[in-house]
Structure 1
């Protein structure tokens, strides 16, 4: 055994003991959530500081700083109490405790927009604490499952999805909404404070990502296993194309280069089961790169893959950690 290998075997247990929240593999490590917190669904990063925000199953939005770890930043349930809600996973308490799904930070105003699955579109200011409601419905139809979200940085417009107008998260988790096609793509204009319905009758729209120039939006249809490109400007405005077909597409996150990472799944041929993957796609939906996360997540599907400073950060509602995969 070489000197370097011997030294590594000696130092690694000491490093893990000193930094227990970081568990290393060859190219994968995890950041453990605080005790009793589980179900990270989506993340939003501060570009300058590297801090990020994540929503968890009990209604809280946590902030992570690499030096101090996680702190409680805010929450979405107006009648939420820590005694009742902290650590819960009971979906029947969702309307009281809240359940943050999509997150998006508008850098110019330092506002963190939240799609709460039960309570609709909300926003947290720089001080955190209780999120302010922005919109609970549009055109007389309440949001039943507010899901994916993205902010166009230049305009401040917020694009988000309501996965279904017929079922809420409790029904969806039981498979009741698997054939539903009543979802909507929506846009909130913070200047006018109005929400516009961009598309109706979508089959489980989940992830939403607006292009850097604001000319189109990518939307993943979870139930239909496809991704569409909806044009906001130009001669194709208000029309869309199916640009990618992939099992269980979920949240989509734009990269600094202008392409996208999308959480999805693929069928494992040996067992005919779904395994979690991330796919990097371009603006036309062409797959550029695929990362397979079965080794670390098994058959637990993931909800988001987001690239930040050369690594992929992975969220999944089935686990109690954030995964970090080095590209």
Structure 2
């Protein structure tokens, strides 16, 4: 772990000095803009044949990018009795999101074609392969209390078991800035089995559990703890099954985690430099590619993509790198 921290500190220094052996400066290819005035493509997902990206937006809808029109079109919506007049076009952190929904993490089950969504207000929901209204699956924690807000979700590609995170049981997403000013320890990691509709608590007392990703072989699941500057690993199989350890420590704040086809992980990380004078930005957004042993093997600076905004997610698809921010109205495509 110490060597990883040394590497990261070297990355930070090298980014300021513009030279490093493991830093990759990917070329900005395109920006996929949301329909105005929508914002906040927190997470992206691609279906089993590579269509997409799909993303959730501020007014409770899930949009799909259409190559023919080079635009996002409506695919699904969170609330089954959605009032379009009230909901369409609302911005993030509006109180109306509690009624309209606020989709955060997205992940497809490639075996069924269903899209699972961690919604900040509606809990864990799923959408059929052809879109439409979402079905609410899990709305309350194991004590029967409504979730604070859900943030991340990932589906095991082999078993279809769903892993999802509750960022905080104390705060709603509308209180996000208040949450980020505190060190909250009420986050949790859950498992949902679609074959039994059973939900299991795997980890609790997490510090802002934002991102989650299960390994390709299903042996472990990773969960990010944003304000604790670390990623925790929960073992699912083997001698260490149902125990956890620290997978990676970071001097910055990890958000979403995404698995690639090589059983590596892309981690969206934000390094705060609030007290630093120009030209150092107040936040340095990065994408880190990490192997299954928790070693950083590539770092991609995302200042060109997001300037000083925080990055929410980085993921790889068909030779391209996609990055998103909850603060912006577009998804960024970079050449790997």
Cα shift readout 1:214-234 (whole Å, capped 9, x = no counterpart): 110011101211111110111
What residue is the counterpart of 2:83 in the other structure? 81
1:284 Cα deviation after fit: 2.1
Alignment counterpart, residue 101 of structure 1, candidates 99, 104, 118: 104
Within the alignment, does 1:142 sit opposite 2:142 as a pair? no
SS of 2:253's equivalent in the other structure is coil
1:175 Cα deviation after fit: 3.4
SS of 1:27's equivalent in the other structure is strand
Within the alignment, does 1:151 sit opposite 2:155 as a pair? yes
CA contact (8 A) 2:39 2:328 kept: yes
How high is the TM-score relative to the length of structure 2?
0.86
Change in CA separation of 1:320 and 1:243 when aligned onto 2, cut-off 3 Å: same
What's the Cα RMSD here?
A: 1.7
What residue is the counterpart of 2:248 in the other structure? 244
CA contact (8 A) 1:74 1:130 kept: yes
Within the alignment, does 1:221 sit opposite 2:225 as a pair? yes
What residue is the counterpart of 1:4 in the other structure? none
What residue is the counterpart of 1:322 in the other structure? 331
**Which residues of 2 match residues 26-37 of structure 1 at below 5 A?**
26-37=27-38
Distance 1:212 1:295 in 2: 31
What residue is the counterpart of 1:19 in the other structure? none
**Which residues of 2 match residues 301-312 of structure 1 at below 5 A?**
301-312=310-321
Distance 1:98 1:91 in 2: 10
Distance 2:305 2:187 in 1: 32
CA contact (8 A) 1:266 1:276 kept: yes
1:79 Cα deviation after fit: 3.8
Large movers: runs of 4+ above 6 Å = none
Q: Any unmatched runs of 5+ in structure 1? A: 1-24
Change in CA separation of 1:276 and 1:177 when aligned onto 2, cut-off 3 Å: same
CA contact (8 A) 1:186 1:199 kept: yes
Distance 1:171 1:79 in 2: 25
SS of 1:322's equivalent in the other structure is strand
SS of 1:244's equivalent in the other structure is strand
Distance 2:110 2:180 in 1: 37
What residue is the counterpart of 1:66 in the other structure? 67
Within the alignment, does 1:291 sit opposite 2:295 as a pair? no
SS of 2:96's equivalent in the other structure is helix
Q: Any unmatched runs of 5+ in structure 2? A: 1-25
1:177 Cα deviation after fit: 6.6
SS of 2:254's equivalent in the other structure is coil
CA contact (8 A) 1:231 1:237 kept: yes
CA contact (8 A) 1:74 1:128 kept: yes
Instruction: Name the larger-Rg structure.
Output: 1
Between 65-74 and 195-204, the greater mean CA deviation after superposition: 65-74
What residue is the counterpart of 1:230 in the other structure? 234
Within the alignment, does 1:253 sit opposite 2:254 as a pair? no
CA contact (8 A) 2:281 2:308 kept: no
1:66 Cα deviation after fit: 1.6
Distance 1:144 1:237 in 2: 28
